[in-house]
């Protein structure tokens, strides 16, 4: 299945969730919103002699989801998120000027920001314990490039990447119309998000989400 066909399939599942929510296919649906602590690996070839150290950035993560198959312990969550990824990178490349051809004592730094439409399809294993329902999440994820700065605005940017998501959280039983929950997830990318002859990068993120469900 191509990435475009996968996108269309998941979109059709989510957009059709409200109309069939009274059937036994849908367990719950709602919103997920929070922050993502994101980082990127910058791997330069040995021949370049360049070394880069990256530190995490904080980004925004918001999405909608539909949870399918209301079985006692297992369900499937299909989701669509807008997520910001990136990192702050310091290299060993010395900054030079006409007045300081041997270097100013400073090194080149980069601050990247890349936005994606992210679509995870996650198996959810849960166990009800009184008013709490702890759960685990695991499954594949498809990221579709929306925009980026610096090197991630060029044609070498991989527009569609594949990764995985693993995490856990808890749902809280509520007397309100909405149920509340929280999730913590780790989402590595298995493909390079940027690639040229001397440099490749990959994304990863930790997401901390508030869940509002019906």
| Helix, strand, coil percent content, the chain, rounded in steps of 5 | 10, 65, 25
pTM of the predicted protein model: 0.83
Determine the 3-state secondary structure of 180 from DSSP: strand
Classify domain 3-47+58-87+114-213 at the CATH topology level: Porin (2.40.160)
Contacts for 108 with CB less than 8 Å, ≥ 6 apart: 90, 91, 93, 94, 95
Q: Where are the domains of the chain?
A: 3-47+58-87+114-213
**pLDDT tens, N- to C-terminus, the chain (214 residues):** 455 555 555 555 554 444 444 446 888 999 999 999 999 998 988 767 788 889 999 999 999 999 998 788 999 999 999 999 999 998 887 777 878 777 788 887 889 999 999 999 999 999 988 889 999 999 999 999 999 987 888 887 888 999 999 999 999 977 677 889 999 999 999 999 998 888 899 999 999 999 999 8
Find the distance separating the first CA and the last CA of the chain, reported in whole Å: 31
Q: What is the C-alpha to C-alpha distance for residues 144 and 203, in angstroms, rounded to an integer?
A: 13
Q: 60 has which bridge partners?
A: 35
Q: What is the C-alpha to C-alpha distance for residues 161 and 182, in angstroms, rounded to an integer?
A: 26
Pairing of strands 199-213, 26-44: antiparallel
């Amino acid at each position: 299945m191509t990435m475009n066909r996968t996108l269309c399939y998941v979109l059709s599942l989510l957009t059709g969730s409200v109309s069939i929510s009274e059937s036994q296919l849908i367990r719950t649906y709602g919103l997920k919103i929070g922050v993502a602590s994101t980082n990127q690996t910058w791997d330069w070839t040995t021949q370049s002699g360049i070394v880069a150290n990256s530190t995490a950035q904080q980004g925004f993560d918001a999405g909608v989801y539909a949870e399918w198959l209301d079985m006692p312990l297992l369900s499937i969550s299909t989701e669509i998120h807008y997520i910001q990824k990136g990192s702050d990178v310091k290299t060993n490349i010395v900054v030079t000027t006409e007045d300081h051809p041997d270097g100013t004592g400073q090194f080149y730094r980069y601050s990247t920001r890349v936005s994606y439409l992210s679509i995870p399809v996650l198996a959810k294993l849960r166990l009800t314990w009184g008013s709490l329902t702890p759960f685990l999440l695991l499954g594949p994820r498809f990221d579709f490039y929306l925009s980026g700065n610096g090197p991630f605005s060029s044609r070498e940017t991989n527009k569609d990447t594949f990764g995985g998501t693993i995490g856990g959280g808890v749902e809280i039983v509520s007397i309100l119309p909405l149920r509340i929950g929280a999730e913590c997830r780790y989402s590595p990318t298995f493909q390079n998000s940027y690639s040229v002859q001397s440099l490749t990068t990959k994304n990863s993120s930790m997401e901390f989400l508030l869940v509002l469900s019906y």
